Amino acid sequence: MSDKKIIDKDTVLRVARLSRLILSDKELSQYSGQLGAILEYIDQLNEIDTRNTPPTSHPLSNLKNVFREDRVKGSLSPADVLRNAPRKKENFFSVPRVIE
Amino acid sequence: MVNSCAVLHSCLERIERLNSKINAFVHFEKENPLGQKGTRPIAIKDNISVKDELTTCASKILEGYRPPYDATVIKKLKEKGYILMGKTNMDEFAFGSSCETSCYGPVRNPWDLKRIPGGSSGGSAAAVAADLVPMALGSDTGGSIRQPAALSGVVGMKPTYGRVSRYGLIAFASSLDQIGPITSNVADCAELLGVISGYDGLDSTSADIPVPDYTKALVKNIKGMKIGVPKEYFPEDGLDKDVKEALLEAKNIFKGLEASLVEISLPHTKYAVSCYYIIAPAEASSNLARYDGVQYGLREEAVRMVDMYAKTRTAGFGEEAKRRILLGTYALSSGYYEAYYLKAMRVRTMIKNDFSEAFKSCDVILTPTSPTPAFKIGERADDPLKMYLSDIFTIPANLAGIPGISIPCGFSGNNLPIGLQLLGKPFEEETLIRLAYAFEQNTEFHKRKPNL
């Protein structure tokens, strides 16, 4: 690996915060090194001139918007929807207080 | 009612005897298979939703999750008399090529228990290879059906993007994911593909194109068909010696069947892994934002809402999942989006165009499925980049959305299976089946079984 640091620990910490992940010091060092190596490899993409190439976000080229008729259909019961919830109260998901 | 189907009883006996050795199944049907109607036992990868049955993506963050609905493919299987045996082991959220990142421990390759079966659909491939079931469903985002099929010595197909509904498949990378069959022979692959294919109003990326009878493509005559051989998939260094020899022999077999081989070029192949490792983690980081301890799965309590999210995600995701979330979030974050994500999407166009250009001079493309046979458990675990490079030959098909199949084509010196890959034009799965069937019927590789 070269000395050039593509991603430093502060950046990894910032990305971890955005991802809602808590990293230990050991994980921080490990991920910084590994992400650095991966990004260094990925840097090869800069060899290619892509200025005149449109981006592909999706492999089906002829895909159009999909609409359906606005008709009332059956849906899951509240009991089915809530069955997997770690915490629930009556017909609601229960979470820590959001408003102070 | 007790199902008296002989195949079912043989499967149950083998699962009982062998599953603890290979760790292919991680959940069994709550409703005993003996109580189900039907004659076709099948295993389902743990990221495909089956109503009321554990579906956890081999991740701690989904522990205990039982979907309130069936995936569209499961609905179709139930209607057609398939017997659901249980859920198969996989890399956590399908992030991996070895099945070592599962929260249930690694899957072992039936051909050599010290080795990986490939991944991420390694549990499905190992279950079929060990004859625990005759067929299984897997999912393929960058090779996750074809690579384990090759390394475990079975047949695996990734259909064209949009051919099979993704409704109920727990998302990894939505523009790349596709469900497909893993079977012990090409005829079963054709049959199963026909059952699961078709337009679905519940998947907005499902293609409204009629489903042909794929079993009609099971013919041995391939005379005059043009097989493209891309030089970029046969590098001087970087291809295992036994794999190289097996592919050379495969070319001769196709020639013997009077198909013609033409050299082609897919010039952007070497950029595919880089392109994929921006796009796939970017989509994954977005898809995995939903695991926050509110609606399902694991929850770690905290006083503040954001702390609850972070504690839950930190405790629930494994090492590789965290690595991909970090990489994807970085690639999408302000200041890096254009340099990485947008750049990768432009390179994706070039890779897709490579295939359109190549298919002007051939009907199908022949490549190795994997550069090496199965490696040892732990061998690449500490080097993520090396692990990522093991998918170099399968990733391009996902980026381009085209179909691909892997079939057995030989064995290494130490008796490990080797697979060849055939890539086809969009929605021309029949061509792949025809060539794969002709090859299979003229060789004996698919008849060899692991010694268990």
Alpha-carbon distance B388 to B141, whole Å?
Answer: 13
Each residue of A33-90: pLDDT tens digit? 999 999 999 999 999 999 999 999 888 876 777 788 899 988 999 999 999 999 999 9
**Cβ-based contacts of A84 with chain B (< 8 Å):** 64-66, 68, 295-297
**Cβ-based contacts of B401 with chain A (< 8 Å):** 59-60
Domain residues for the domain of B318 are: 269-350
A97 within some domain: no
Residue B364 has pLDDT above 60, yes or no: yes
> Could you tell me if B310 and B367 lie in one domain?
no
Q: How many interface pairs between A and B have CB atoms less than 8 angstroms apart?
A: 150
A38 within some domain: yes
> Could you tell me if B367 and B284 lie in one domain?
no
Q: Do B66 and A84 touch (CB under 8 A)?
A: yes
Average pLDDT of the residues in B141-167:
98
Alpha-carbon distance B112 to A19, whole Å?
Answer: 39
> Could you tell me if B262 and B410 lie in one domain?
yes
Alpha-carbon distance B283 to B332, whole Å?
Answer: 9
> Could you tell me if B145 and B249 lie in one domain?
yes
Return the residue matching tokens 């010595």.
B153
Give the confidence band of A1 by pLDDT, cuts at 50, 70, 90: very low
B165 within some domain: yes
The residue among B188, B189, B167, B160 whose CA lies nearest residue B48 is B167
CATH code for position B68: 3.90.1300.10
Alpha-carbon distance B401 to B178, whole Å?
Answer: 9
Alpha-carbon distance B346 to B202, whole Å?
Answer: 29
Question: Is the separation of the CB atoms in B193 and B157 below 8 Å?
Answer: yes
Q: Do B340 and A31 touch (CB under 8 A)?
A: no
Q: Which member of A19, A57, A96 has the closest CB to residue B302?
A: A96
B286 within some domain: yes
Strand order from edge to edge, sheet including B25-28: B25-28, B82-88, B40-45, B135-140, B178-183, B155-158, B404-411, B417-424, B364-368, B226-230, B260-264
A68 within some domain: no
The residue among B325, B357, B346, B450 whose CA lies nearest residue B399 is B346
Tell which of B50, B65, B330 to mutate to test the A interface (max A CBs under 10 Å): B330
pLDDT on residue A3 = 44
Give the confidence band of A5 by pLDDT, cuts at 50, 70, 90: low
A13 within some domain: yes
> Could you tell me if B334 and B422 lie in one domain?
no
Q: Which of A58-72, B25-39, B310-324 reaches the highest mean pLDDT?
A: B310-324
**Cβ-based contacts of A59 with chain B (< 8 Å):** 161-162, 175, 352, 399-402
pLDDT on residue B282 = 98
Residue B35 has pLDDT above 90, yes or no: no
Alpha-carbon distance B123 to B138, whole Å?
Answer: 9
> Could you tell me if B319 and B205 lie in one domain?
no
Alpha-carbon distance B233 to B239, whole Å?
Answer: 9
Contact partners, residue B204, CB within 8 Å, separation at least 6: A66
Q: What is the mean pLDDT of chain B?
A: 96
B452 within some domain: no
Tell which of B202, B208, B274, B343 to mutate to test the A interface (max A CBs under 10 Å): B274
A15 within some domain: yes
- Token representation of residue B371: 């550069």
Q: Where is pLDDT greater, at B382 or B98?
A: B98
- Look at chain B and report how many structural domains it folds into: 2
Question: Is the separation of the CB atoms in B122 and B146 below 8 Å?
Answer: no
Give the confidence band of B119 by pLDDT, cuts at 50, 70, 90: very high
Question: How does DSSP classify residue B90?
Answer: -
Percent of chain B with pLDDT over 90: 92
Average pLDDT of the residues in B143-152:
98
Check: pTM over 0.95? Answer yes or no: yes
CATH code for position A26: 1.10.20.60
Residue B192 has pLDDT above 60, yes or no: yes
Average pLDDT of the residues in B10-25:
97
> Could you tell me if B365 and B304 lie in one domain?
no
> Could you tell me if B212 and B171 lie in one domain?
yes
Residue B101 has pLDDT above 70, yes or no: yes
Each residue of B229-259: pLDDT tens digit? 999 999 988 899 999 999 999 999 999 999 9
Lowest mean pLDDT among B4-8, B80-84, B116-120, B141-145: B4-8
> Could you tell me if B19 and B119 lie in one domain?
yes
A:43-82 residues touching chain B, CB 8 A cutoff: 44-46, 48, 50, 53-60, 63, 66, 68, 76, 80-81
Among B350, B376, B401, the domain-final residue is B350
Give the confidence band of A4 by pLDDT, cuts at 50, 70, 90: low
A66 within some domain: no
Average pLDDT of the residues in B320-344:
95
A18 within some domain: yes
Contact partners, residue B51, CB within 8 Å, separation at least 6: B66, B67, B68, B69, B70, B74
Average pLDDT of the residues in B328-353:
95
Contact partners, residue A62, CB within 8 Å, separation at least 6: none
- Global ipTM: 0.93
Q: Do B345 and A81 touch (CB under 8 A)?
A: no
- Look at chain A and report how many structural domains it folds into: 1
For residue A25, give the 3-state DSSP assignment. Answer: helix
A90 within some domain: no
Domain residues for the domain of A3 are: 1-47
Average pLDDT of the residues in B134-157:
98
> Could you tell me if B180 and B229 lie in one domain?
yes
> Could you tell me if B42 and B150 lie in one domain?
yes
> Could you tell me if B376 and B435 lie in one domain?
yes
Question: Is the separation of the CB atoms in B440 and B446 below 8 Å?
Answer: yes
B1 within some domain: no
Catalytic residues of B: 45, 120, 144
